[in-house]
Amino acid sequence: MTTISLAPPTGWARQRAIGRLVLFAGSSWLVVASGLHGVLSRFPRRWRRTAPYIARWARVGRRALGLKVRVSGELPAPGSLVVANHQGWVDVPTIGGVGPCIFAARHDMRSWPLFGALAASGATIFINRQHKRAGVRGIQQVASALAVGATVIGFPEGTSSGTGLLPFRTGLFEAAVVSGAPVVPASIRYLAVDGVPLDAQTLRVVGWFEGEPFLGHALRLASHHEVTAEVTFGQPLPISSDRRELAAGAEAAVRTLLV
């Protein structure tokens, strides 16, 4: 029976991984160049104009990394706040390829290799939770993006959670309260690598949640032929003026979708 190795790739597997990551990086910047008119637009229009290119970039990333994603549930309406569980950087191309979107992310994502620069060029909204004023500004930007019809995807756990689900932080939901945008729960599940079902241990091949260096994880992931993933969208939550109520409802809905 085929097994999934957690060891660093060697030989041809390593060469394949390097080639895939180089292809991913080069193709990513070509997508950015093709959407330059959106990137150079003024805010708040930039968020809406950039969203289709984010989806295109995510689909390029899927092909480069061998991600096969199946989608179930009704796709979110434009201008929705989509909130999902978070297992690592691979979540971005996995859910981002579903349709036009932008992301709300932790401020330290700016320093990630490749992803940081791409995120900044793609109108990602960075939220600094360590400084109250910066955090409030980030939430206001999310609300403005939602108000102009951009679908914003966020991960309210605040960090990668692995096989479980951490309590949802409430800050992001304030943007939905301010803008009146619908909140749509979503789940991201990684099912198999090279046809072999994943378990709590081998999920580390895809998930990035144990402090492993980014490049080492990316090489190991890209050394495999195919990763099977599933994105499921739930029903929009009832409109609420209470961000804590929205966060609790979204967390419960995502837990249900993950079962």
pLDDT at position 209:
82
pLDDT at position 113:
67
pLDDT at position 191:
97
Q: Is residue 234 part of a domain?
A: yes
pLDDT at position 162:
74
Host domain of residue 96 = 11-258
| pTM for this entry | 0.94
Q: Indicate the number of domains in the chain.
A: 1
Report the alpha-carbon distance of residue 26 to residue 28 in Å, rounded: 5
Q: Is residue 227 part of a domain?
A: yes
pLDDT at position 231:
98
Residue 63 CB partners (closer than 8 Å, separation 6+):
none
Q: Is residue 31 part of a domain?
A: yes
Report the alpha-carbon distance of residue 238 to residue 215 in Å, rounded: 41
CATH number, domain of 76, equals: 3.40.1130
Q: Hunting for tokens 């789940």 — which residue is that?
A: 187
Report the alpha-carbon distance of residue 161 to residue 72 in Å, rounded: 22
pLDDT at position 205:
93
Tell whether the torsion through CA atoms of 49, 50, 54 and 56 is positive or negative.
positive
Q: Is residue 54 part of a domain?
A: yes
pLDDT in tens, the chain (259 residues): 468 888 999 999 999 999 999 999 999 889 988 988 888 888 888 999 999 999 999 999 999 999 999 999 999 999 999 999 999 999 999 999 999 999 999 887 777 766 777 777 778 999 987 777 878 999 999 999 999 999 999 999 988 877 789 999 999 999 999 999 999 999 999 999 999 999 988 999 999 887 788 889 999 999 999 999 999 999 999 999 999 999 999 999 999 999 8
Q: Is residue 1 part of a domain?
A: no
Q: Is residue 243 part of a domain?
A: yes
pLDDT at position 4:
87
Q: Contact 139/246 with Cβ under 8 angstroms?
A: no
According to the 3-state scheme, what is the secondary structure of the chain?
CCCCCCCCCCHHHHHHHHHHHHHHHHHHHHHHHHCHHHHCCCCCHHHHHHHHHHHHHHHHHHHHHCEEEEEECCCCCCCCEEEECCCCCCHHHHHHCCCCCEEEEEHHHHHCCCHHHHHHHCCCEEECCCCHHHHHHHHHHHHHHHHCCCCEEECCCCCCCCCCCCCCCCHHHHHHHHHCCCEEEEEEEEEEECCEECCCCHHHHCCCCCCCCHHHHHHHHHCCCCEEEEEEECCCCCCCCCHHHHHHHHHHHHHHHHC
Q: Is residue 3 part of a domain?
A: no
